[in-house]
């Protein structure tokens, strides 16, 4: 369960990506982001990212708290806490000072836990670096 101080307050939800909605690119938010649809790219949130049971994420997630009940394909970084409910599935690395993974979760990746403040979130890659990396990975013709 969440701490009383950090309980998920539905009134704090600022951004909702609803079912049937697809977002591709970078999302930055100071408030909570709730994903019920599909997101591809990167989500950087100061508060909480909630991936609903219907949510499918092919992105890196960075937030104060991350709660996963859907599917995440990508790396997840939480400054404070990461929770994965029994409906959750993660394919990617997870990093947080506190991690709660329910029984029955599918998790394929590496888990890193260090005290709060000793973790460094992944840096944003600019478009040029990403394009150059894709070119390097492309097969020679």
Q: Tell me the domain boundaries of the chain.
A: 10-137
Helices within the chain (DSSP H only): 127-137
* 37/20 Cα distance (integer angstroms): 6
69 φ, ψ to 5°? -120, -10
Contact partners, residue 115, CB within 8 Å, separation at least 6: 97
Tokens 């079912």 belong to residue:
19
State the pLDDT confidence band at 132, using cuts at 50, 70 and 90.
very low
Six-digit token pair at 49? Answer: 């990212």
Q: Are 71 and 57 in contact (CB under 8 A)?
A: yes
pLDDT, residue 40, reads: 98
- pLDDT (tens digit per residue) in 47-104: 999 999 999 999 999 999 999 999 999 999 999 999 999 999 999 999 999 999 999 9
Output 140 or 24, whichever has higher pLDDT: 24
* 80/72 Cα distance (integer angstroms): 19
pLDDT at 12 over 80: no
State the pLDDT confidence band at 126, using cuts at 50, 70 and 90.
low
* Three-class DSSP category at 114: coil
pLDDT at 133 over 60: no
Nearest to 52 by CA among 80, 32, 28: 32
What is the number of helices (H) and of strands (E) in the chain?
1, 13
pLDDT, residue 90, reads: 97
């Amino acid at each position: 369960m969440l701490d009383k101080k950090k309980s998920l307050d539905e009134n704090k939800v600022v951004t909702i990506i609803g079912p049937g909605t697809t977002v591709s690119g970078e999302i930055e938010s100071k408030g909570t982001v709730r994903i019920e649809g599909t997101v591809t790219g990167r989500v950087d949130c100061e508060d909480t990212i909630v991936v609903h049971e219907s949510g499918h994420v092919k992105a890196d997630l960075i937030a104060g708290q991350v709660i996963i009940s859907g599917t995440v394909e990508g790396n997840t970084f939480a400054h404070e806490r990461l929770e994965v409910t029994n409906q959750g599935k993660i394919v990617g690395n997870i990093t947080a000072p506190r991690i709660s993974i329910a029984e029955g979760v599918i998790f394929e990746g590496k888990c890193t836990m260090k005290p709060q403040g000793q973790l460094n979130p992944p840096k944003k890659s600019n478009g040029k670096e990403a394009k150059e990396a894709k070119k390097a990975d492309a097969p020679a013709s």
